[in-house]
Chains A and B, each alone.
Chain A
Amino acid sequence: MEPELAVALPATGALFTADQLGLGLSISPLSRALLLAAAASLTLVVTFAPQRAERALLLTWGLAGIAGMAAIAAAPSLDLVILVTLAIALLQAAVAGRRPLAARLRAPALAVALLGAGLVLARIDGAPILAKFAAVGLVAGLAAAVGILPYIHEFDAEEVTAASPVVWIAFVGPILALEIVTRTRDLIPSAAAAFGAMLIGLGLLNILWGSLASWFSEKGASAWHFSFMADWGLLMCAFGVPVADGQSAAVLVMYGILLSRLPLYLWSRQSLREKIQTDRPINLLAAAMLAGSAPFAGFAARVLLLRGATQLYWPLALVIAIGLLLWLPPSLRLGRSLGLPKVRQAAGTAIALALSVAIGLYPQPILSLAGL
């Protein structure tokens, strides 16, 4: 170390303690469990990436994403969560993509503005309705950050993954959503019911829109993008159900997005480009996993969500149960679009299927890891 630095660093430490900086770092068990899932997902995706994929690029940006997610999880205040989100958005905009920079930055930066406005409204004293407006801002910001209705991100199927909106909807999104939802509940307890109702409403809308659009969309890659939206609908409903089963369902849905849907989407890109569709057993198994059939993790998540929704208000469970049927046709289509996986992808798909079955049959270790 240079002598000047050796003097300057301890002096800086003496000037600002971690408390003064507002950096009392700690990560909740839920966030820790999600970070582990994200790391596992990245390992799976990079290890079993197709031959033509740029593995180094995927790994570099994936690790950068995980660092950003860790920063979001460790941020001591919602202000810092929002600022870290803005930093991630700017860094992602620096990745060369097919869309113009303005188009790539627009949605996440708008999300930051909405979240910021929600946070300001939550912190000021005044009429009780301000807390509800704060909840509107935070839910709208969350939807814009992830890229679900009412703010779907512009999607280009040919864009490099690190620069595409898939990063938000499938990788960074789950932990960001978790932090926003848990911190908002503490920030505006008086509007918790309104916040939950908005999450459920938006969730149902996304289930309907995402699954139908995934079913009828002409382009295969767009169908995958919409299928993420449908999963997010389920996740938003789970976040909105303030009972233990709802939270457990949310964790399992997020695991499903990170460990099942994201790897399969990335491995299917080549066959989507070559317009290959096959009806082999592996395609059917992948379709069953994506549809949330037993014994995969999605099934356990759905059962827990329905149980939680029944405790909250049974007609809600009925509506969600009807919505769940919409997963089947698009999942069959997405399973076929995987094509006939080559050796490497076949091994990856088998691992993803095995992981999903293990979590579906015995989800308790994951839930315990998440502190549930």
Chain B
Amino acid sequence: MTAAAGFAAWIGAAFIVLADGRRGLAAGIGLVDLGFTVLAWTNGLWPEGAILLAGGAVCVFELVRTGPQEWGLMPPASTPRLILALVVGILSLWVAASVTTGPGAALRFASLAVLGLMAGRLLQSQSSIAVLTAASGLALALAGASGLAPGGAGLAPYLFGAVIAAGALLLPAAESRGA
């Protein structure tokens, strides 16, 4: 179950990297959210997982509620993005399963893969919706990764992460203005 959840988070992050349309981005953030929620629940963090699920769900809702509903998956010239998604996934899997030791390999894999792919998306994209979705993904990944803290980091990171993920897409894509 945990391996499937970690894999789902990576697939979701890959969707965010590969998609330009709102539906594709919504599917991606939904999978990332689901992955980290299941990882929290399998760690026994039930309220934390539920909060993450709610935050991600609001983000998905915001994406599918407004704007042109397109998938925009793998538009022309997206081969470098596909390579990025694969390379980051393989590298994260190697670090999580081989370089590091101890329990929680799926959470380590999901955290590193999502953080790496969101960083890539932020650097590459010119679209405000894609960048805001990547920021939501970052918030969910950071909240989920707080489960790696020795003794747990409490509810606060999950709450903050969920609020940020839910609120990011509510921001106005601000108009240009001078000094």
Contact = CB atoms under 8 A, between A and B. Distances in A.
A105 to B, nearest CB: 5
Contacts of B155: 16, 20-22
Contacts of A105: 122, 128, 131-132, 135
A98 interface: yes
B127 A102 contact: yes
A125 B100 contact: yes
Contact of B154 (A23, A95, A119): A23
A98 B176 contact: yes
Interface string A237-264: 0000000000000000000000000000
Interface string A141-167: 000000000000000001111010000
Interface in A103-122: 105-106, 109-110, 112-114, 116-117, 119-120
B160 A80 contact: yes
B128 A112 contact: no
B49 interface: no
A120 B108 CA distance: 7
Interface residues of A, number: 49
Nearest to B131: A102
Interface stretch (A86-94, A208-216, A226-234, A316-324): A86-94
Specify the main secondary structure of chain A where it touches its partner.
Answer: helix
Interface string B139-168: 101110110111011111101110010011
Nearest to B174: A96
Contacts of A160: 177-179
Given A120-B145, A126-B101, A77 B153 contact: yes
B: contact size bracket: 35 or more
Interface string B92-103: 000000011110
A82 to B, nearest CB: 6
B100 A124 contact: yes
Contact of B119 (A16, A113, A126): A113
B37 interface: no
A86 B179 CA distance: 24
A84 interface: yes
A139 B164 CA distance: 24
A83 interface: yes
A90 B169 CA distance: 10
B21 to A, nearest CB: 16
Nearest to A19: B154
A315 B168 CA distance: 48
Contact of B156 (A23, A109, A113, A117): A23
Interface stretch (B24-32, B58-66, B69-77, B109-117): B109-117
A100 B126 contact: yes
A109 B122 contact: yes
A186 to B, nearest CB: 12
A77 B142 CA distance: 12
5 contacts: A76-B156, A95-B174, A101-B131, A120-B111, A127-B99
Interface of B: 99-102, 108, 111-112, 115-116, 118-119, 122-123, 125-128, 130-132, 134-135, 138-139, 141-143, 145-146, 148-150, 152-157, 159-161, 164, 167-168, 171-179
Interface of A: 16, 19-23, 76-77, 79-80, 82-84, 86-87, 89-90, 93-98, 100-102, 105-106, 109-110, 112-114, 116-117, 119-120, 123-127, 130, 158-161, 163, 269
Given A90-B171, A97-B177, 14 more contacts: A21-B156, A79-B143, A80-B153, A82-B142, A98-B179, A101-B174, A102-B125, A102-B131, A105-B132, A113-B118, A120-B108, A123-B149, A124-B102, A124-B108
